[in-house]
Amino acid sequence: MAERFDLIVFDWDGTLLDSAAAIVRAIQAASRDLGLPAPSDERARHVIGLGLTDALAFAVPELSEADYPRMVERYRHHYLSSDHELNLFAGTEAMIATLVERGHLLGVATGKSRAGLDRALSHTGLGAHFLATRCADECHSKPHPQMLHELMVELGTAPERTLMIGDTTHDLQMAEAAGVAALAVTFGAHPADVLRRHEALAYIERPEDLGPWLAANA
């Protein structure tokens, strides 16, 4: 069967790495460090996938602009203290290896910083499989389509041959803005009912179902 998509782009946090809860805890802890009200789990989860500055502006609206650098420092302190303990979702390594074997080009579009993504790729050992990656400190934050536009140009693929996979509405909106197909996973940051308000080829409920769906449909 001919492959439908040449390029498959993954979000990172909440899509490949089971990190949403750790991000929420780090945002809440950083807020308390600055004497600010900690956002609810729902509010903190909503901003996962955005660039860090945009995320904090929404998650902690009481934060003054002058305190952004300190907030970012405290967030990174809390997140990086345990990020090495985070795990890939079940089946991720085998799925990535299979996609590479089938000839797909793989990329990452993430709200992480370049340093953060490089650290995560090194920890997980997946770095060699992704031919191109884009981060929020290199591009406009999601849902702006710049990340996908740049990945398609770098890897020489057309929008109709590109698939974006993510766990947030930011990912689905970015895909729509870039004119590419989207696949939603509902086991990450944003709840299924919110994701289903946006167009996607499918809504994958369990990590172990993602690889089989791609094998049959990508």
Q: How far from 49 is each of 101, 174, 212, CA to CA, in Å? A: 28, 11, 25
The answer to whether the beta carbons of residues 139 and 146 sit under 8 Å apart is yes
Q: Which of 11, 18, 167, 171 is catalytic?
A: 11
Sign of CA dihedral 109, 112, 113, 116: negative
Q: How far from 196 is each of 110, 125, 163, 202, CA to CA, in Å? A: 21, 32, 17, 9
User: CA 60 to CA 52: how far, in whole Å?
Assistant: 12
Q: Which of 13, 18, 83, 167 is catalytic?
A: 13
11 in active site: yes
User: CA 70 to CA 30: how far, in whole Å?
Assistant: 9
User: CA 62 to CA 51: how far, in whole Å?
Assistant: 18
User: CA 66 to CA 56: how far, in whole Å?
Assistant: 13
41 in active site: no
Angle between helices 207-217 and 92-101 (to 10 degrees): 10
The answer to whether the beta carbons of residues 117 and 110 sit under 8 Å apart is yes
What positions carry a catalytic annotation?
A: 11, 13
